[in-house]
Amino acid sequence: MGKDEQFMQRAIDLSRLAVEHGNEPFGAVLVKDGKIVFENENQIHTASDPTFHAETGLIRRFCQETGTEDLSSYSLYTSCEPCMMCSAAMVWAKLGKMVYGASNIYLEEKILHQQGSHTSELTFQEMGRGPATKGGILRDQAFQILQSYFG
């Protein structure tokens, strides 16, 4: 198993924990120099905060705790392609790289049965900047958790 798969596996494990803790199935890890430096799971229900997605919560907490505002030397691994809000947070934090498991379009169209909204890559294009992206890492495992929760 390569590094991308190892980090994605942890993000997927966090998505399972999020469900166990009463939240929606999304997890994220922040990596620098080949090591996980921070992780977070979705907490929208337990924190009573609809913006506490795995990715925005991770960025908010990590930056507050470390005093870091520039994540250009970091990579964020997330179990599902981020929504528009989370994608914008990545842009403002100057995230260097984002890697996701399941695609947002698949989640919305196949599982939630609604038209796909903005994907992170479209958000990055519209804003004229954003991290390098890579998708589909451990996609089937990520989809399985989403399907069992939303299906």
List residues with catalytic annotation.
55
Distance CA 37, CA 28 (A): 11
